[in-house]
Amino acid sequence: MSSATGGVDVDSSPDSNPADDGTPKNDVINENGLTGGDEDDHDPEVITVTASQVDLSLKKMISTKIAQLGDTLTYTIKVFNESGTLATGVEVSDSLATSVQFITGSFTTTRGTATLTNNVIVWTIGSIGANGDTVTLTYKVKAISEGIHFNTAEISKTNEPDVDSTPGNGNNSEDDNDQECFTVPFKLCPLEKIQASAPEYLTNVQWYKDGGSTPIVSGNTVLLSEVGTYTFTASNQQCPAGGCCPIIIESSDNCCPTQICIPFTITKKRK
């Protein structure tokens, strides 16, 4: 209370300064902790205002795990708002491998727009409503090389802070980041080998063949030559990295039989 007329308060001195309350005399109903105590005409309350937070998550999907050269695959990204707060300024970044070819004109979105520049897709979504609102982006790619093809998408921007993720930090353990893959079998001829590599950050990499439980070789980089399906494990990541896509080796039907492949030289002679 900053002023009073018509009488004198028996245990308070009305003024507009909350820090000069004297020692209480009686009838004090709340101590506020200010120096000098608390007169009962003054009862401040601290209000803490926190910034609105959202809880966005992202899921990446590929239409098949095993493809052949020339196959067309559909990539899908879904973003969910699991909070009770409207999310605004939402943007997703999606990195395409150079081993796939984007199908021009294949973008389909339920909200926002998507563009492709230097093999990076930027999906500008805008707002995602509270309590489970979901948006979707799909597009198509063509498989143009053998081996495992990885794709990683992440929520790269939001106006509001996320309760359990940091947009754009590249942390694949957060729920705003997801990596998927598919594999195209290698076609090998006799005496040929492929060099298979696991990411350098993985430790104690063990390679397995055809679902066996005993490792056939260890190391981040190995040479493989036998027909079969190969997977690997690592101490700091589960079966194999990036969504359990195997390396598949198949026999090529376009090989020169070894018994008739005889080297020869043609020499032109002047008559």
DSSP notation for 37-74: ---TT------------B-EEEEEEES-SB--TT-EEE
239 DSSP assignment:
S
How is residue 194 written in tokens?
A: 């492929």
CA gap 3, 14 in Å, rounded = 5
pLDDT greater than 50 at residue 145: yes
User: Is residue 23 situated within a structural domain?
Assistant: no
**Residue 103, in any domain of the structure:** yes
Say whether both 207 and 165 belong to one domain.
no
Q: Is residue 10 part of a domain?
A: no
In tens, the pLDDT along 204-235 reads 989 999 989 899 999 999 999 999 999 888 88
Domain ranges, residue 64: 56-184
Where does the pLDDT of residue 166 fall: very low under 50, low under 70, confident under 90, or very high at 90 and above? very high
| CA–CA gap between residue 180 and residue 194 (Å, rounded) | 23
CA angle, 41 as apex, 38 and 43 as ends, to 5°?
60
In a domain, 258, yes or no: no
More confident residue, 57 or 45: 57
Model pLDDT, residue 235: 82
pLDDT of the residue at 234: 83
pLDDT exceeds cutoff 80 at 259: no
Assess if residue 229 is contained within a domain: yes
34 part of a folded domain = no
Amino acid 253: pLDDT: 86
Q: Do 61 and 132 share a domain, yes or no? A: yes
Residue 161: per-residue pLDDT: 95
DSSP-derived 3-state class of residue 201: coil
Say which amino acid occupies 66.
I
Q: Are residues 95 and 203 in the same domain?
A: no
* Beta strands 134-143 and 100-102, pairing class: antiparallel
Q: Quick one: average pLDDT of 172-197?
A: 91
Task: Work out how many domains the chain is built from and give that number.
Answer: 2
Domain match, 176 and 221 both: no
CATH code at 175? 2.60.40.740
- Report the predicted TM-score, pTM, of the whole model to 2 decimal places: 0.73
| 60 and 165 both lie in a single domain | yes
Query: What is the pLDDT at residue 108?
Result: 98
The secondary structure of 111-157 as a DSSP string is SSEEEEETTEEEEEEEEE-TTT-EEEEEEEEEE-SSEEEEEEEEEEE
* 35 is a domain residue: no
Q: Please write down the HEC assignment for all residues of 67-100.
A: CCCCCEEEEEEEEEECCCCCEEEEEEEEECCCCE
Q: Is residue 30 part of a domain?
A: no
Does 118 have pLDDT greater than 90?
yes
Query: Does residue 234 contact residue 241 with C-beta atoms inside 8 Å?
Result: yes
On average, the pLDDT of the chain sits at 83
How sure is the predictor about 24, in pLDDT bands with cuts at 50, 70 and 90?
low
Domain shared by 65 and 169, yes or no: yes
Q: What is the pLDDT of residue 163?
A: 95
Q: Are residues 102 and 210 in the same domain?
A: no
Asked if residue 87 and residue 165 are part of one domain, the reply reads: yes
Do 196 and 176 fall into the same domain? no
Higher pLDDT, 251 or 255: 251
What average pLDDT does this structure show over 141-157?
A: 94
Residues 180 and 191 in one domain: no
- Find the angle CA(159)-CA(151)-CA(83) to the nearest 5 degrees: 30
List pLDDT tens digits, range 61-111.
999 999 999 999 999 999 999 999 999 999 999 999 999 999 999 999 999
Higher pLDDT pick, 193 / 33: 193
Percent of the chain having pLDDT more than 90?
57
Residues 192 and 226 both lie in one domain: yes
Give the model's confidence band at 7: pLDDT under 50 very low, under 70 low, under 90 confident, else very high: low
